Amino acid sequence: MKILLDSHILFWAMDQEEKIPADVLDEINNPANDVFYSVLSVWELTLKNLKNPKGMPVSGIKVAEYCDKSGFTRLPLQNEHVQQLATLNKDEGVDHKDPFDRMLICQAKAEGMTFITHDTKLSAYHESCVNII
Domain boundaries, the chain: 2-132
Size (the chain), residues? 133
Each residue of 84-132: pLDDT tens digit?
999 998 887 677 778 999 999 999 999 999 999 999 989 999 999 999 9
Rounded CA separation 35/7 (Å): 13
Strands (E), the chain: 2-5, 34-38, 73-75, 114-117, 130-132
Strands (E), 7-122: 34-38, 73-75, 114-117
Residue pair 115/2 in contact (Cβ under 8 Å)? The answer is no
Measured N-to-C along each axis, helices 7-15 and 39-51 cross at an angle, to the nearest 10 degrees, of 70
Strands 114-117 and 34-38: unpaired
Each residue of 44-56: pLDDT tens digit?
999 999 999 999 9
Three-state secondary structure call for residue 36: strand
Average pLDDT over residues 42-70: 94
Average pLDDT over residues 30-40: 97
Give the long-range contacts of residues 24-27, CB within 8 A, separation 24 or more: 24/116, 24/133, 27/1, 27/3, 27/116
Average pLDDT over residues 29-48: 96
Is the whole model's pTM more than 0.85, yes or no? yes
Which of the following CATH numbers is that of domain 2-132: 3.40.50.970, 3.40.50.1010, 3.40.50.20, 3.40.50.720? 3.40.50.1010
Average pLDDT over residues 69-85: 96
